[in-house]
Amino acid sequence: MTYKSALGANGESIACEYLVGKGYKILERNYRKPWGELDIVAVSPGKTLVFVEVKTVAGIDPDYTAEEQLTQSKLTKLQRTASLYANKYFERHPDDAGWQIDLIAINIVGDEHSVKHYENI
């Protein structure tokens, strides 16, 4: 495992802990298909199906913020993948609460980390 993939996996674990602490139910992690990937699929306390993109950076002054790593092309691909998932697995989430995409941005510095949650981006 490369440093970058280990950092990403660590960030996804932190994001899952954060979401569970906020009352979310995690349905899947790392859903991968040839056309795209979803980091976390969850259900919010309000029953909305939530596709969470996790971006993680490390260090006091990273070259790019976690938020800056979510480019418009990545967001477009994420929207398409989320829509396909929501339509295919509708029976897993029959509540008519819709779906949304969230971004969780994590910055890890040493043993500490900060989490920023952007809902319905």
pLDDT for the residue 74: 93
Concatenate the DSSP letters of all residues of 3-30 into one string. HHHHHHHHHHHHHHHHHHHTT-EEEEEE
pLDDT for the residue 27: 93
How many domains does the structure of the chain reveal?
1
Predicted TM-score (pTM) of the model is 0.92
Number of Cβ within 10 Å of residue 96's Cβ equals 6
Domain encompassing residue 79 = 3-118
Residue whose tokens read 């040839």: 34
Question: Which segments of the chain have a pLDDT < 70?
Answer: 90-96
CATH code of the domain covering residue 15: 3.40.1350.10
One-letter amino acid at 18 equals: Y
What is the number of H-type helices and E-type strands within the chain? 2, 5
What's the pLDDT tens digit per position in 52-84? 999 999 988 888 889 999 999 999 999 999 999
